[in-house]
Structure 1
């Protein structure tokens, strides 16, 4: 099993297990089942005859409605990965996640680049296939199908051949897909779920190191789970001492959670 070793700016080594080809194909298959289920729902649950009648045969209006109804399919991987923190529904079922190759959450640009380059990874030569098919060139049909299937396999070949199991979109966006099945190991990293709109509270958290953040997270998780309030108080006091900040939050739990999120915000955006 391939692994990604991330050496952070504070020389803390984090190991991630990379998703293999089989896992990614299965996640891709599940996502496509969801897409086809949506298409089935749209076709069989909506009365398109009534819609066409309603727009009085206006071809442009009909095309606009078609585009609108199928937008969720077109942008499926983009909005699901952004909303589900690097996971499509297929990846979520298989416990896979997209992360930045440096171990952090990908940016909006990273997600967009991965989505856009699906054209190369899975749909290369699609326009050639459609164009030649429309011409009715039956003598080239066999070759045409080979070209079409070859274009569909670009992403798979890239995952097999690259060191970190990356398709073209991953390489361009500087991302990898990791396996989260070992929840304990993954939770030991300093990763936190923060939104694009997150506003930090304590700028002085940059005084912490990656190792400090990891220790804080581990201690915090155990103390919160066991309701060890004495340890939480000690942890808050130590954080205030190192960062030279005073808690603005109502409870120690909210304060420490904010500290971890702020640290992730600044280290991801520096």
Structure 2
């Protein structure tokens, strides 16, 4: 199960990173008329554009990790579907949208943010607003929380991670 979770995570991480970067590349192309094939930093855009793009990326994150699993794939992202696992409520019932929201947005983005691309974009924009030194504390906290979450996965007998506890969820084999 732990290996399946890791594989599903990497599939989902790759897909969401690709989609978010594709959106930023398209936005840059619309501005400059030049196509780039590199990873596009959000800091390439003006401050107001960064905020707008961040909002769009946030909705993409919600779509992929909350809406699709709740309303289309019954607790699964594409990575989870391929690895035959799914997210359910802690009691084993079908996962609720609110629990997916808490799990993925609050747990994975805000608290364990070191491992998610949206968190990186948020930190880059925050750095421009509140400065690099203060943003460093968010980075340290998210890395610590991320490693605590991995420790939970490895040492908790049920294999729940920090974001599972936050969202009152668990991952089960389909």
The normalised TM-score by structure 1 is: 0.45
> Aligned pair in 2 of structure 1 residues 145, 66: CA closer, same or farther (>3 Å)?
closer
Secondary structure in structure 2 of the residue aligned to 1:117 = helix
- In 1, distance between residues paired with 2:69 and 2:144? 26
SS in 2 for 1:99: strand
* Aligned counterpart in structure 2 of residue 66 of structure 1, from 29, 37, 53: 53
Structure index of larger Rg? 1
Residue 155 (structure 1) aligned with residue 149 (structure 2): yes
Distance verdict in 2 for CA 1:146–1:177, change over 3 Å: same
2:107 aligned residue: 117
Give the root-mean-square deviation of aligned CA atoms.
3.5
Note the 1:191-210 alignment, pairs <5 A. Answer: none
Paired residues of 1:99 and 1:178 also in contact (CA < 8 A):
yes
Q: Which runs of 5+ in 1 are unaligned?
A: 1-18, 52-56, 136-140, 181-270
Matched residues, number: 146
Shift of 1:100: 2.2
Q: Which structure has more RCO (C-alpha within 8 Å, separation ≥ 6)?
A: 2
| 8 Å CA contact retained: 2:112, 2:146 | yes
Q: In 2, Cα distance between the equivalents of 1:173 and 1:39?
A: 24
Q: Give 3-state SS (helix, strand or coil) of 2:159's partner.
A: coil
The Cα shift of 1:29 comes to 0.7
Match for residue 19 of structure 2 among 2, 18, 38: 38
Secondary structure class of the residue paired with 1:172: helix
SS in 1 for 2:94: coil
Q: Is the 8 A contact 2:149 2:162 kept in 1?
A: yes
SS in 2 for 1:178: strand
Please report how far the alpha carbon of residue 25 of structure 1 lies from its aligned counterpart in structure 2 after TM superposition: 1.4
